[in-house]
Chains A and B, each alone.
Chain A
């Protein structure tokens, strides 16, 4: 009986989420409080991560978390032109370093995005082609997240300047949903609710 009840609640939560996603503005992030209606803590945690997933799977993030050695660009996530590769340090090969074009800040007249830390996420942090569940498990794994504890992700996503660029990407690029502060709040709430991952 217990199991059945649990399954029922999980199913309800999923359908609430599905309906929710269908009607909600994809450019916004809802605050952690919106999930208090989900009684089960694990399900609530996973749901918060799913909301955060709107940011993580957005082109602004995925483009520099590619599966291979070449970044992507644009809202359509096309392969980066000119062809560039991560090189030994993730900052480009010798012939064309990231910093050559992507300087300290966005250069609006050239529609060129920029940040002092511009570089590719390491291969173990690739998100391209992964499900939310897979990204979640990867992001929690110290072997694959740069040795971070889950709590450190609150700072990384909530206040890091390169991550922060995603919300002010310059002309011709859709910003990541919501604001960096809102994303940080979601990370914090996710951590506080046990950092559970969506099953898929």
Chain B
């Protein structure tokens, strides 16, 4: 057993004792009822289970939750897909997903949303050249599997959020 205390979507959780072998995915879904994070493969192959980890240095990365112990998130600050909207106000990326009809069944969407959001924040800190934009998006999203959409509109949605605010995201 390990003590787990962390921040999720700005809210403090714990301290609570968790089994060493409890996955973060099961902790979120079973213990906290935060079922916005999905379970697709349990093997870090599809990244439907990915959440955002906010590092102390101001950077953020995504992390799968199915192959990582909940205990490993002790002391961390994370964001799940429940944390993107502010009340009823959807984030720019959420709105773009809807406008573009980017998702179909929606099961992989939380992962794409988190990954896209991390990419936006990364580009805001380190913009890229326009000519490199599509490749940058493709590299960021390629770890995420989708069986319904064929990916095109996910990429277009992320791209269009960036192109709508080029000063922020592009060199």
Contact = CB atoms under 8 A, between A and B. Distances in A.
Interface of A: 81-84, 93-97, 100-101, 103-104, 107-112
Interface string B59-78: 00111101111001000000
Interface in B28-79: 42-45, 47, 61-64, 66-69, 72
B35 to A, nearest CB: 19
Using C-beta atoms within 8 Å of the partner chain, give the interface range for chain B: 20 to 34
Nearest to B122: A94
B138 to A, nearest CB: 10
B142 interface: yes
Contacts, number: 54
B23 interface: yes
A112 B145 CA distance: 19
**Across the A-B interface, the 7 shortest Cβ-Cβ residue pairs:** A110-B67, A112-B67, A82-B143, A101-B44, A95-B140, A109-B21, A95-B139
Contacts of B140: 95
Interface string B2-41: 0000000000000000000111000000000000000000
B143 A110 contact: no
Given A81-B45, A95-B139, A108 B21 contact: yes
Name which of B47, B67, B119 has the most chain A CB atoms within 10 A of its CB.
B67
8 contacts: A82-B45, A82-B143, A95-B139, A100-B63, A101-B64, A103-B68, A107-B68, A112-B44
A82 B67 contact: no
Contacts of A109: 21-23
Contacts of A111: 43, 67
B69 A107 contact: yes
B64 to A, nearest CB: 6
A110 B64 CA distance: 11
Given A82-B44, A95-B140, A110 B61 contact: no
Given A95-B140, A110-B43, A110-B44, A100 B23 contact: no
Nearest to B59: A94
A111 B64 CA distance: 13
Given A109-B21, A110-B23, A83 B43 contact: no
A101 to B, nearest CB: 5
A101 B68 contact: yes
A83 B143 contact: yes
A82 B63 contact: no
B120 to A, nearest CB: 13
Given A96-B143, A97-B61, A103-B72, A110 B47 contact: no
B68 A110 contact: yes
A82 B23 CA distance: 20
A96 B140 CA distance: 8
